Structure 1
Amino acid sequence: MHGEYLLSVSLADERPPEKCWGLLLPTPPSTGDQRHRGVKVSEGWQTQQLVARGGIQGAVLASSPSGNYSAPIEFEIELREGSLIKEHFFERSGRSTDPQADARQVFADLDLPNNATNTEKLRKIVDCISQKYDYGHDFRTDLPLTCDRLRGNCLDINAALIRLLRVAGIPHAYYIGFFFEKNKSIGGRHCWVSTLIDGRQEDWDIAHHLRQDAIQVSSSLNPLPGIRFAMSTGWDLIFDLPFGTFEVPHLATPRWLLSDGTAMDCPVKVSYERRGSTEVLSSELSEAST
């Protein structure tokens, strides 16, 4: 649904954890489907603009001298049709998506001809992942991709998809954000992979197709109708700060940056409203929402 939206994120934590440097907030990327128009925090906060290594994903480091974190963080996002952002589709190394021997073996087992096009490779890869995985949250993370059957949530499924895309040399981008299903006052974190072949972008959400028992996965942001917002792009984001280097797997929701060099999820409540509309939907997000 095109239009201008205000996405409000309220922190569940009343105060920051001990030995905390600040709160890392995502700067939503502009994509072919949305345009980022700004991030607003309380006037009492101190902020610093950041960019992850690679120069694509932005962030805001925020701190509140008064310790008041009750005011919501507001993200202004316009949903519209626009041009794809080619800069998002360069290959990025990261421990979550670097292809190992199991991914290379799975790709070899696809038995593609030497002259296979990227379109043919992509179809084989998507079918392979969708047939190999069952959607769920009770799964093991130590099983190789060569197993006949695996179980995972959308993070795990998309990580496996990206590993095979990297072996195949297919340009791709990873996005994570929020999804609010149409006509339901529920929402959750939502992630997907976009591919770029011959100048054409396609969006893939294998996990939600599996949740809907789809016979074949087709390219779409989500088989369910609703509103979706991308909050960050890229995996294994690294931010270099004066007081240390921090790596986060993704940046859909704010994260506390701790003095020991680690980052901790911050529980949040998210609501959105469309400019000029009285509709306001909200949802408390959890780890199980992807």
Structure 2
Amino acid sequence: MPTRVRFSLTEPATDSAPLLFGVPFNTPEQSVIAIDVVAGNCLDRVTASNSGQTALLIEPEGGCAVVDVDFSDAAGMAPAWLFGSTGGAHEQPSVALAELIDGLAGTTCGQARVNRIIEHIDARFVYGRRERGLGDGEAAMPALVCDTHAGTCVDTHSYAVAAMRAGNMDAAYISGVFFKAGQSLSRPGHCWIAVQVDGAAQYWDVSHHLKYGLGPSQPGYNPLPGTRFALTAGRDLRFELPGRSLAVSILKGFVAADGEQGLALPTTASLI
């Protein structure tokens, strides 16, 4: 049976500047049946210039914007662009990270190689917030050679994607929404990674293992009981809008689309 998730601005927009809302995609765990702009005026549907990720360009109505998405748990086919790199600094391994992963992973391949990289990530992170996001302001993702470092799901999984790519593994950063078991309200912004292993997508949520003490990370779509929906993929997306280029570090929920840098706006997701 389809599940409807309603996304709305948590607080009214203070001006009429347009918003971006990422269009969810199909995965082996979900199919997107419909997407409907309930409040606001949909101006266009745009595709990132460095990815196949699409977004709705929405003009808020009276400061409000609401989008309903109907999901089915029927298996869908993931888009061909999912594992492509955006070329952004948060997804690209630095030379130092490439050398580190090469030394750690050695001649392993397939699942063994993925496991070795995940073990490295487990050892380098504790769940916590940083003053500045990992990789922010860098030309590429730095190497975490020693010690442990605080990181949210964004830091941990951005590093994980760059580390997997340093190990020549196809990986994707996925932004989504997670509802804990028994809850019907959440906020988009949780993320995880997909890794291509032996021709199939394998999901890892390292941050949930760290935050909730679930032990060494194991693959799985829901290591913590609850319900999740994949919404968008990729970091450092770029959208060509009329007269300007818009950079979006993370496309989660509603994003203010004025100026040259998109700003994520507080968004509430409701199971209805």
Q: TM-score, normalised by structure 1?
A: 0.83
Distance across 2 between alignment mates of 1:216 and 1:103: 22
Distance across 2 between alignment mates of 1:111 and 1:10: 43
Q: Which runs of 5+ in 1 are unaligned?
A: 274-290
Which segment is superposed worse, 195-204 or 33-42? 33-42
Distance across 2 between alignment mates of 1:242 and 1:207: 38
Aligned twin of 1:60:
56
Give runs of aligned pairs for residues 34-73 of structure 1, distance below 5 A.
Answer: 34-42=30-38, 45-64=41-60, 67-70=61-64, 72-73=66-67
User: Which amino acid in structure 1 is aligned with residue 89 of structure 2?
Assistant: R
Aligned twin of 2:170:
171
Deviation at 1:133, TM superposition (A): 0.7
Deviation at 1:39, TM superposition (A): 2.2
Aligned twin of 1:91:
85
Distance across 2 between alignment mates of 1:267 and 1:234: 20
Tell whether the 8 Å contact from 1:181 to 1:227 is kept in structure 2 after alignment. Answer: yes
Give runs of aligned pairs for residues 247-258 of structure 1, distance below 5 A.
Answer: 247-258=247-258
Larger Rg computed on CA atoms: 1
Distance across 2 between alignment mates of 1:168 and 1:112: 9
Distance across 2 between alignment mates of 1:149 and 1:54: 33
Q: TM-score, normalised by structure 2?
A: 0.88
Deviation at 1:144, TM superposition (A): 4.8
Q: Which runs of 5+ in 2 are unaligned?
A: 135-141
User: Which amino acid in structure 1 is aligned with residue 115 of structure 2?
Assistant: R
Aligned twin of 2:151:
152
Aligned twin of 2:115:
123
Change (3 A) 1:70 1:127: same
What SS is found at the alignment partner of 1:88?
Answer: coil
Aligned twin of 2:137:
none
1:23 corresponds to 2:23: no
Change (3 A) 1:234 1:76: same
User: Which amino acid in structure 2 is aligned with residue 243 of structure 1?
Assistant: G
Change (3 A) 1:183 1:205: same
Give runs of aligned pairs for residues 183-202 of structure 1, distance below 5 A.
Answer: 183-188=182-187, 189-202=189-202
User: Which amino acid in structure 2 is aligned with residue 175 of structure 1?
Assistant: I
Deviation at 1:200, TM superposition (A): 1.9
Runs of 4 or more, structure 1, over 4 Å off, are 138-144
Distance across 2 between alignment mates of 1:207 and 1:133: 9
What SS is found at the alignment partner of 2:235?
Answer: coil
